[in-house]
Amino acid sequence: MARGHGTVSPREADYIPSIRRATLFLGFLYQLLQFVISNTLWASLEYAPFAFLPITLILMLSGTLMSYAIAAGLYRFRGQSILFKLLLGSALSLGAGAINAGVDFFSRSLMEHGDQGGALWTDFSYIVIYCTALFLGWTFLYIALLANFEVRERR
């Protein structure tokens, strides 16, 4: 059943509020767990996690907002094939990963005033890869959520 991007079936209108609630809850929960994992990682690498707490809070807020933006993009194309949604989600995740890495370096530069030297681009690349992987996880979770609601609509 092919729908236009702006059209909503009568049955779909019934569960749109449920999708919104699930998206808000899962997006926040996903980023909260990422926050806990990041702080655990910092602690296991013998960094003081409280020293990086402002940065991780900024990244959690930024990541949550970008997760919701990715969800909005995927929701807009919910009627497309799964392959299209996976490719779109991968592209959006890469862009969000690069933006989040930029936010990370900007927030670090505000807190640390030391010279980072030649490791700057290597660290930036690692952070882009890490953030892209996080957003890919969110993308796949959200695509599964959309599929779940689509199955419910068909019943």
Domain ranges of the chain: 10-154
Residue 139 to residue 67: CA distance in whole angstroms: 8
pLDDT value for 109: 80
43-47, 84-88, 93-97, 125-129: range with lowest mean pLDDT: 43-47
| End-to-end CA separation in angstroms for the chain | 14
Residue 149 to residue 94: CA distance in whole angstroms: 26
Instruction: State the residue for tokens 């609630």.
Output: 21
Tell me which residue of 129, 136, 73, 142 sits closest to 101, measured CA to CA.
Answer: 129
Higher pLDDT, 149 or 1: 149
pLDDT value for 7: 59
pLDDT digits (tens, 9 = 90+) for 27-39: 999 989 988 888 8
What pTM was estimated for this model as a whole? 0.82
Would you tell me how many other CB atoms lie within 10 Å of the CB of residue 65? 16
pLDDT at 153 over 70: yes
- Read off the pLDDT band of 2 (50, 70, 90): very low
